[in-house]
Amino acid sequence: MEKFTVLIESRPFCAFDDTPMEQLKNSGMDLLDMRGSGVQDPKFVEALNRVDAILCGNDLVVNEGLLDMAPRVKAIAKMGAGLDTVDIAAATRHNAVVFHTPGANNQAVADHTFALILNVARKIIYCDRSLRENRWEHTKIMGLEIWQKTLGLIGLGAIGRCVALRAKGFQMKVVAYDPFWPTEFADEQGIEQLEIAELLKASDIISIHVPLIPETKGMIYEKTLGLMKPSAILINAARGGIVNEADLYQALKNKVIAGAGLDVFENEPPTGSALLELDNVVLTPHTAAFTFEGMNNMSEGVVSQLIEYYQGNKPVHTVNSVAWDTEMA
């Protein structure tokens, strides 16, 4: 009987702690450690032909073409909550069970969101650069207070709720939009439910916490940016593509809004992006989830589910149950 073979692609997997890797090694599965590789590597493509599962991160696009190169694959183990790099429908057609690790990096992303808010509001990056360039702009650089301001959350899921709780420490008023409204949490925290247009008009800071799906792609563009206050700040630590970056550049350049903080981009890395030219935007390289704790949580979560799958049990965060049901049948 051939061994069950796992191709490990995800670069962040076990970046700080090898314990989950040791658990995999002791599980009885065969491992092909190709972290940091991809379809540009002929050895990686060859390996796809003989593996039963792929443990992937955000770099690998799992689509019909890749699955055609991996005829034996029956499990896609995705580190992180985001599934925009995995074609769920294609995986289901190939009878491949997809599972991920929602919740593993909620606190990390919420922390990073507030780091962006404070950096943009108080122009921390600009101040640091100014001082290093021997400019003492002591009375010239003016920031914005976030205390008692209105925070608008587009998405009140797990991460959005963590951000809302942090906002309470700044005595902010929190309003939110979410088609799947968490009534109990919102009532407990006094969060007002608004439609998108109302939220954009009312908020001093807008923070995005929704997945990249057809309904959210490009939802922040020229028209919606025009609804925001001239003093408003936009934060996106969710997924690139939700914000139209060309329209955002014009809105920032022409002072339609005051500033923005982005951790994610339409194209990553954002080489040549016009946003790099602006002083009223803070940019980070998709690092919101990258804390010691967050990375360890994701590694542990994906391994525990992969072992469950290997032992014949349905992973707790399976996203295409029909593939599991087909396999069981």
Identify whether 286 is a catalytic site residue.
yes
* Catalytic residue of the set 11, 35, 166, 286: 286
Identify whether 268 is a catalytic site residue.
yes
* Catalytic residue of the set 94, 112, 209, 239: 239
Place of tokens 């408003």: 232
Q: What is the DSSP string of 20-62?
A: HHHHHHTTT-EEEE-TT--TTSHHHHHHHTT-SEEEE-SS--B
> What phi, psi does 310 have (nearest 5°)?
-60, -35
* Catalytic residue of the set 46, 222, 268, 293: 268
The enclosing H or E element of 44 equals helix 42-48
Reduce the DSSP state of residue 251 to 3 states and report it.
helix
For 119, 238, 274, 278, 283, the CA distances from 287, given in Å and listed in that order, are 15, 11, 20, 20, 10
Q: Measure the CA–CA gap between 221 and 95, rounded to whole angstroms.
A: 37
Reduce the DSSP state of residue 153 to 3 states and report it.
strand
Residues annotated catalytic, as ranges: 239, 268, 286
